[in-house]
């Protein structure tokens, strides 16, 4: 390879490498701590090498710090948008564990750290759904498309910040939708046990209610799995539209 070709593609390579590394660090599976760091670095470098000849960016040294800040922000927003459903599923699992009394049973989850078994089960199920509906193909397409739409210095930072804030509130909405069946049933069960305690104060409601909460909670989770699959698959199927909106907002 001649020095002229190396100099020509070096700015594009570094620019693509920056965006790729940030977005990939947020993606499910790839961001897992189970993957060796050497594999992650090699994977990001290969993507940057493959895409560098396809795109050419004119980046001046004076504006380089500004471009880097914009790219970091865009990578965080795009990666978070792709990972939003997984974060919501994990949050829903934590909520269900709390209401049925299993929040003490935590394990180390390589994806996010400490997690309950319920949240881990839902997270693994969501991962399988993600791959089943081919959402990873949509994600790859949107990522490559971002280089065609967004040139260096053309990002609308204000829109990206607003999108990040609204995306955070969307997580709670999805998590509540997923955990709603268990939360509502346990709430009703708490009311029933409260009335029983008023009618018979000598009853030890704690020792009666704890196993009832676990049994009813698992039963409701079991019968609501088809609903969880349909809701999660619907969100994953709409991932392409969500990423397109992020790209449109970033372009301004």
- Ranges of each domain in the chain: 3-251
Please name every residue paired with 236 in a beta bridge, in sequence order, or none if there are none: none
Q: At CA 175, angle to CA 31 and CA 115, rounded to 5?
A: 50
Average pLDDT of span 232-249: 84
Provide the whole-model pTM.
Answer: 0.77
Distance CA 8, CA 6 (A): 5
Q: What per-residue confidence (pLDDT) applies to 108?
A: 45
Q: How confident is the model at residue 110 (pLDDT cuts 50, 70, 90)?
A: very low
> In this predicted model, which residue has the larger pLDDT, 242 or 202?
242
Q: What per-residue confidence (pLDDT) applies to 105?
A: 55
> In this predicted model, which residue has the larger pLDDT, 13 or 216?
216
Distance CA 229, CA 126 (A): 8
Q: What per-residue confidence (pLDDT) applies to 42?
A: 86
Closest CA to 122 of 138, 140, 137, 102: 102
Q: How far, in Å, are 175, 178, 191, 210, 221 from residue 181 at the CA level? A: 11, 7, 16, 18, 8
Other Cβ atoms less than 10 A from the Cβ of 85: the count is 28
Among left, alpha and beta (phi > 0; psi -120 to 50; other), residue 134 is left
Among left, alpha and beta (phi > 0; psi -120 to 50; other), residue 113 is left
Average pLDDT of span 29-33: 69
Buried/exposed code over 206-217 (b: 16+ C-beta within 10 A; e: otherwise): eeebeebbeebb
């Amino acid at each position: 390879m001649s020095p002229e070709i190396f100099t020509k593609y070096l700015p594009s390579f570094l620019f693509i490498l920056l965006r790729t590394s940030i977005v990939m660090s947020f993606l499910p599976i790839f961001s897992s701590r189970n993957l060796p760091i050497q594999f992650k670095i090699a994977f990001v470098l290969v993507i940057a090498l493959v895409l560098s000849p396809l795109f050419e960016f004119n980046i001046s040294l004076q504006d380089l710090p500004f471009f880097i800040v914009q790219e970091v922000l865009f990578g965080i927003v795009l990666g978070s948008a792709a990972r939003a459903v997984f974060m919501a599923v994990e949050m829903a699992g934590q909520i269900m564990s709390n209401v049925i009394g299993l929040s003490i049973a935590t394990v180390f989850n390589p994806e996010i750290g400490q997690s309950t078994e319920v949240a881990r089960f839902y997270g693994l199920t969501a991962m399988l759904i993600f791959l089943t509906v081919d959402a990873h193909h949509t994600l790859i397409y949107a990522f490559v498309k971002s280089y065609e739409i967004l040139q260096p210095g053309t990002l609308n930072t204000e829109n990206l910040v607003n999108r990040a804030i609204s995306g955070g509130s969307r997580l709670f909405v999805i998590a509540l939708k997923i955990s709603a069946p268990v939360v509502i049933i346990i709430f009703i069960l708490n009311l029933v046990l409260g009335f029983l305690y008023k009618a018979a104060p000598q009853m030890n409601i704690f020792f009666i209610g704890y196993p009832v909460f676990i049994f009813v909670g698992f039963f409701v989770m079991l019968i609501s799995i088809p609903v969880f699959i349909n809701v999660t698959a619907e969100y994953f199927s709409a991932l392409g539209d969500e990423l397109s909106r992020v790209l449109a907002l970033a372009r301004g």
